[in-house]
């Protein structure tokens, strides 16, 4: 069988073109139509959260509500949100004593009295960074920043390579043992796109956590940011975090 | 509530390690590939005649290990059936997504092609000589071509040289890139350094050269063939040079960390003195680096008899491989033992007969030697001199 160079190139070219267009077409068909939420426009929102450390009482409502709402495994190694308890001696910001028994799910056992220390709780969750290191490293784009500022995971697409878990500076990601794919806070995307608050904000008894839409002019977040001295976690990481903490102590990591 | 194995405070999601011993094997194996290939290129591109007896052996070793390199990654994935997505829909900002392409480029465009061109004449001759099934195998390997005219062979050689020249930066890319996967994680101070790709590269060269040296000595012994001492001495000398650069870079990194004493330093320092003391200080630096450097240097300085030199090379080579494995272990496992809050430490529990346990790791380390055995049977590397 003799094949000329021209024929070979033409045949391979055609084959490549046909298979790749068939693959693209199949992808589009298999993806289906996304679920529509009436009246929700992606370009009209930019989500974040205001967290007031001075108001957090460490009750653990948010942790419990989150696990229930989002079907998070109940074992103590998997959390979309958790609460840390800090005890800092006035002169020693570098060595805070921190604990988070079961992520604060069961509340906190009393501390033995320790005079001369300051004590506070720090609720943690995904920072929904605008420049997420986790999104950057995902090899297939299974985790992504939505146009309205939420970092989401496509569980049907995630390989479970865990690179994003390594890349998150805040320890917000885990591998769901049931699916072997990554899981993290979705900012209750299924709720906020329908005009509801997140489960953690909804159940916080003191209003320490408040969902914020930074694109909504009437959102109280603007007043909050104007009148409080806020900080984000690990600002040196330059991740563009949108979790704004009021009263964040220098000892918090 | 105390979590077993945890000291101080870890973020709750951090307690379990994400990357296991299989991810230790991945940079170890790709490093062996890159190192073996670079040793082979010494002969081809830089015309170091002395290492010629190991040229083909080094290429086959590189191929055997390269074929195994993606297996630990594949085995480690939570959803291995989706791994093809990395090729079909790669995320361009991800260092990991590029692995598939760098790997495929290296495997098909560099290594397989170079081996094929170099062996083409032998394959044709083997096809003519053999009978039955093997004849079909060799004829297929020659792509059913029987042309070994002088003109064709000259062309083979020309293309082969060009591919080796392309191959050297490709080998650098393959392993430098593996270092970048770790070095670019800004969340992890143990990994995040621009030196990482360079350190990985030089340790790769060290481990690959040591491996080929050992494989060469072993194959000579099995075949009852004399060892070409000029070749062995040259390899050992290059091993020493590469080792000194590698050690220098690693010390630079270490001294820089100690002197800067940044925010993570106390955490890392504590780790090196406790959990990582044995694998890092004792195995990696003392036994795996200083001792082999010393042994190789002694051979350079002294005038030792050939049998003594052989023994010293064998010991130095084996210690080198152990040391480089420990280095990969300390990077991958060590980088996950401390909390990103710098307030606590966790423990790595190595299981045995699980998907990411010790048993699959051992099997994955034996597998390339099995493949190498088959390759050597199929494409005997020692006919080079006779047929050249």
Nearest-by-CA chain A residue for B96 = A139
Widest CA span in chain A: 92
∠ CA B238-B248-B21, nearest 5°, is 85
Rounded Cα distance between A227 and B165, Å, is 64
Contact call for residues B140 and B105 (beta carbons, < 8 A): no
Rounded Cα distance between A56 and B153, Å, is 78
Interface of A with B in 86-105 (CB under 8 A): 96, 98-103
Q: Which of A203, A225, A200, A229 is nearest to A213 (CA)?
A: A225
Q: Does B77 contact A at CB distance below 8 Å?
A: yes
Nearest-by-CA chain A residue for B1 = A101
Q: Residue B384: its pLDDT value, please?
A: 47
Plot region of A207 (φ>0 → left; ψ -120 to 50 → alpha; else → beta): left
Rounded Cα distance between B243 and B249, Å, is 10
Alpha carbon of residue B221 to chain centroid: 23
DSSP reduced 3-state for B136: helix
Higher pLDDT, A42 or B175: A42
Neighbour tally for B219: CB within 10 Å = 18
What dihedral do alpha carbons B220, B222, B226, B232 form, nearest 10°?
A: 30
Rounded Cα distance between B136 and B130, Å, is 9
Contacts of A169 in chain B (CB under 8 A): 186-187, 340
- Which tens digit of pLDDT belongs to each residue from B260-291? 998 889 889 999 999 999 999 999 999 999 99
pLDDT tens per residue across all 253 residues of chain A: 677 889 999 999 999 999 999 988 988 888 777 666 778 999 999 999 999 999 999 999 999 999 999 999 999 999 999 999 999 987 788 889 999 999 999 999 998 777 888 999 999 999 999 999 999 999 999 999 999 999 999 999 999 999 999 999 999 999 999 999 999 999 999 999 999 999 999 999 999 999 999 999 999 999 999 999 999 999 999 999 999 999 999 999 9
| ipTM of the prediction | 0.93
Measured in angstroms, the CA of A234 and the nearest CA of chain B are apart by 10
Q: Residue B387: its pLDDT value, please?
A: 44
Q: Does B350 contact A at CB distance below 8 Å?
A: no
Contacts of A159 in chain B (CB under 8 A): 77-79, 82-83, 85-86
Q: Which of B58, B19, B107, B153 is nearest to B375 (CA)?
A: B58
Residue B40: pLDDT above 50?
yes
Residue B58: C-alpha distances to residues A120, A132, B10, B28, B332 (Å): 61, 42, 45, 16, 27
Q: Where are the alpha helices (DSSP H) in A100-212?
A: 133-137, 163-167, 189-192, 199-203
- Which tens digit of pLDDT belongs to each residue from A39-69? 899 999 999 999 999 999 999 999 999 999 9
Task: Provide the 8-state DSSP code for A142.
Answer: -
pLDDT grade, residue B206 (50/70/90)? very high
The answer to whether B14 contacts A171, with C-beta atoms less than 8 Å apart, is yes
Contact call for residues B11 and B345 (beta carbons, < 8 A): no
- Which tens digit of pLDDT belongs to each residue from B119-147? 999 999 999 999 999 999 999 999 999 99
The answer to whether B18 contacts A180, with C-beta atoms less than 8 Å apart, is no
Q: Does A132 contact B at CB distance below 8 Å?
A: no
Q: β-strands A230-231, A174-176: how paired?
A: unpaired
Q: Residue A34: its pLDDT value, please?
A: 67
Nearest-by-CA chain A residue for B79 = A159
**For chain B, what is the mean pLDDT?**
93
pLDDT grade, residue B107 (50/70/90)? confident
Q: Which of A29-43, B97-111, B197-211, B225-239 has the least mean pLDDT?
A: A29-43
Q: Does B95 contact A at CB distance below 8 Å?
A: yes
Q: Which tokens is B40 given?
A: 């082979």
pLDDT grade, residue B383 (50/70/90)? low
Contact call for residues A211 and A217 (beta carbons, < 8 A): no
Q: What percent of chain B has pLDDT over 70?
A: 98
Measured in angstroms, the CA of B111 and the nearest CA of chain A are apart by 23
Plot region of A204 (φ>0 → left; ψ -120 to 50 → alpha; else → beta): beta
Measured in angstroms, the CA of A153 and the nearest CA of chain B are apart by 14
Rounded Cα distance between A152 and B279, Å, is 38
∠ CA B212-B214-B216, nearest 5°, is 65
Q: What average pLDDT does range B35-42 have in this prediction?
A: 92
Q: Does A23 contact B at CB distance below 8 Å?
A: yes
């Amino acid at each position: 069988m003799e094949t000329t160079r021209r024929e070979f190139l033409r045949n391979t070219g055609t084959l490549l073109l046909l298979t790749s267009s068939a693959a693209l077409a199949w992808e589009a068909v298999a993806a289906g139509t996304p679920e529509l939420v009436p009246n929700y426009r992606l370009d009209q929102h930019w989500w974040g959260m205001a967290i007031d450390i001075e108001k957090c009482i460490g009750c653990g409502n948010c942790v419990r509500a989150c696990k229930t709402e989002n079907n998070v495994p109940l074992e103590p190694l998997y959390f979309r949100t958790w609460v840390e308890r800090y005890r800092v001696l006035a002169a020693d910001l570098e060595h805070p004593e921190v604990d988070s028994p079961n992520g604060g799910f069961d509340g906190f056992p009393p501390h033995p009295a320790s005079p001369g220390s300051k004590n506070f709780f720090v609720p943690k969750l995904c920072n929904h960074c605008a420049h997420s290191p986790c999104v950057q490293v995902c090899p297939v784009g299974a985790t992504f920043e939505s146009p309205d500022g939420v970092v989401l995971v496509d569980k049907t697409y995630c390989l479970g390579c865990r690179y994003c878990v390594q890349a998150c500076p805040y320890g917000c990601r885990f591998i769901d043992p049931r699916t072997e794919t990554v899981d993290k806070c979705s900012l209750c995307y299924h709720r906020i796109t329908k005009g509801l608050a997140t489960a953690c904000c909804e159940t916080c008894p003191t209003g320490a956590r408040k969902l914020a839409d930074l694109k909504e002019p009437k959102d109280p977040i603007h007043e909050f940011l104007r009148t409080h001295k806020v900080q984000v976690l690990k600002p040196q990481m330059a991740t563009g975090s949108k979790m704004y903490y009021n009263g964040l102590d220098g000892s918090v990591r | 509530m105390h979590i077993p194995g945890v000291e101080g405070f870890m973020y709750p999601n951090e307690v379990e390690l994400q990357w296991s011993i299989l991810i230790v094997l991945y940079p170890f194996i790709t490093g062996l590939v890159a190192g073996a290939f670079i040793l082979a290129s010494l002969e081809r591109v830089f015309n170091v005649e002395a290492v010629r007896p190991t040229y083909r052996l080094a290429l086959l070793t590189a191929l055997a290990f390269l074929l195994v390199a993606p297996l630990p990654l594949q085995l480690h994935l939570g959803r291995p059936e989706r791994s093809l997505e990395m090729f079909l829909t790669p995320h361009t900002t991800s260092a990991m997504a590029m692995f598939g392409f760098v790997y495929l480029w290296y495997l098909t465009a560099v290594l397989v092609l170079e081996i094929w061109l170099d062996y083409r004449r032998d394959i044709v001759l083997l096809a003519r000589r053999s009978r039955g099934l093997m004849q079909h195998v060799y004829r297929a390997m020659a792509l059913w071509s029987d042309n070994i005219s002088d003109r064709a062979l000259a062309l083979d050689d020309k293309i082969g040289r060009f591919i080796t020249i392309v191959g050297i930066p490709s080998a650098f890319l393959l392993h430098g890139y593996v270092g970048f996967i770790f070095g670019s994680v800004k969340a992890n101070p143990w990994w995040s350094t621009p030196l990482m790709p360079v350190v990985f590269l030089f340790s790769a060269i060290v481990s690959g050269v040591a491996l080929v040296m050992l494989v060469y000595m072993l194959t000579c012994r099995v075949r009852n063939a004399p060892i070409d001492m000029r070749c062995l001495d040259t390899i050992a000398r290059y091993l020493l040079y590469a080792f000194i650069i590698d050690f220098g870079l690693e010390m630079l990194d270490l001294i820089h960390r100690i002197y800067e004493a940044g925010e993570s330093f106390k955490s890392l320092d504590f780790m090196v003195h406790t959990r990582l003391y044995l694998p890092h200080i004792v195995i990696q630096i003392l036994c795996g680096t200083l001792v082999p450097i010393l042994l190789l240097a002694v051979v350079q300085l002294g005038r030792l008899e050939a049998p003594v030199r052989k023994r010293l090379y064998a010991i130095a080579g084996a210690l080198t491989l152990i040391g480089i494995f420990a280095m990969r272990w300390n990077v991958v496992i060590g980088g996950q033992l401390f909390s990103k809050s710098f307030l606590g430490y966790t423990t790595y529990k190595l299981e045995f007969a699980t998907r990411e346990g010790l048993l699959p790791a051992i099997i994955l380390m034996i597998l390339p030697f099995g493949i190498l055995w088959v390759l050597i049977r199929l494409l005997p590397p020692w006919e080079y001199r006779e047929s050249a």
